[in-house]
Amino acid sequence: MKIDPGLVAYVSGGGSGIGRGFCVELARRGVHVGVCDIRGEDARETVRLIEEGGGKAIALETDVSDQSSVDAAADAIESVFGDVSLVFNNAGVAMHGVPVEEISLSEWDWVIGVNVMGVIHGVRTFVPRLRKAGKPAHIVNTASIGGFQVNPDFLTVAYSMTKYAVVALSEGLRNELAETQTGVSVLAPAAVDTGIHLSERSRPERLGGAYVRPENHFMGELIKDGAQPEDIANIVLSAIESNCFYIFPHPETRPWLERRFSEILDAYGAAEAAAKPLAAE
């Protein structure tokens, strides 16, 4: 679809990082933006930046792990700007640096609540509205390169598990919406200069409240020289206009996926070799 001025967007995690990049770049193209973030002050700062550049946006304190909060955000955006056509299920939190058996149940609830249920809630809220509107629309779900392979060095099991789920959800959603006017994309970035390593400060009270999780903080050094959020946003907006499903903004990660899929294909080769004696019998 073409991203024309006057369209309306919902962006979760819009108060910082890639989400803020989406919001600012959309506004530069004349899109009216619902900036949604659990940290209301961050959402309001994004709106300030947008309005400073002459754009239109509203800030909405939104907990994507709560279906009713996402529903309320959608209602608020529609009441101000009209029907939403662009949906960015972008909010996400880090969960790195701890062996899987040491991750507490409360942390599992949190990372699944945001990274998986946040996308599910966005889909449940907006897909019926997009179908009803019957106009060209697009959904972007932010996964990660960690949704296609598990980094062997950084203890990313919980994070990667949730991002694999986002990839599968997006692939299934694309199939279900294939005959509609709604396109779907899944974004799989690697290092981006964001504050995701500090995401524990945004944990909602009902899931344990804000805290300090130093195990994530090594990522700050890894990502500080990464891509800029606005650059990722522009790649994604171009992909929307090209109706591109998989979005890999870091081509240097291609060998990581090649290694994984090569191992899978080798396993098929081994299975075929093992099956030959059975067939001969």
pLDDT in tens, 51-72: 999 999 999 999 999 999 999 9
In a domain, 207, yes or no: yes
- Tokens (6 digits) for 213: 């999780």
Residue 281's pLDDT is 61
My answer on whether 143 and 60 are in the same domain is: yes
Over residues 126-170, the pLDDT tens digits come to: 999 999 999 999 999 999 999 999 988 889 999 999 999 999 999
For residue 1, tell me if it sits in a domain: no
pLDDT of residue 278: 64
Co-location of 264 and 166 in the same domain: no
> Which CATH number is 154's domain given?
3.40.50.720
Confirm whether 10 is a catalytic residue. Answer: no
Q: What is the pTM of this model?
A: 0.94
> Same structural domain for residues 204 and 144?
yes
Is residue 2 domain-resident? no
> Does residue 34 share a domain with residue 133?
yes
Based on the domain organization, do 113 and 40 belong to the same domain?
yes
Containing structural domain, residue 160: 8-249
Q: Structural domain tally of the chain?
A: 2
Same domain as 277, residue 222: no
Say yes or no: 243 and 257 in one domain.
no
Task: Give the per-residue pLDDT at 217.
Answer: 83
Q: Are residues 63 and 187 in the same domain?
A: yes
Report yes or no on 3 lying in a domain: no
pLDDT tens digits for 196-225? 888 888 999 988 899 888 887 877 787 888
Residues 89, 179 share a domain:
yes
Judge if 195 and 213 occupy the same domain.
yes
Whether residues 166 and 259 fall in one domain? no
**Marked catalytic residue, from 10, 159, 211, 246:** 159
R_g of the chain, CA atoms, integer Å? 20
Q: Are residues 183 and 239 in the same domain?
A: yes
Percent residues over pLDDT 70 in the chain: 99
On average, the pLDDT of the chain sits at 95
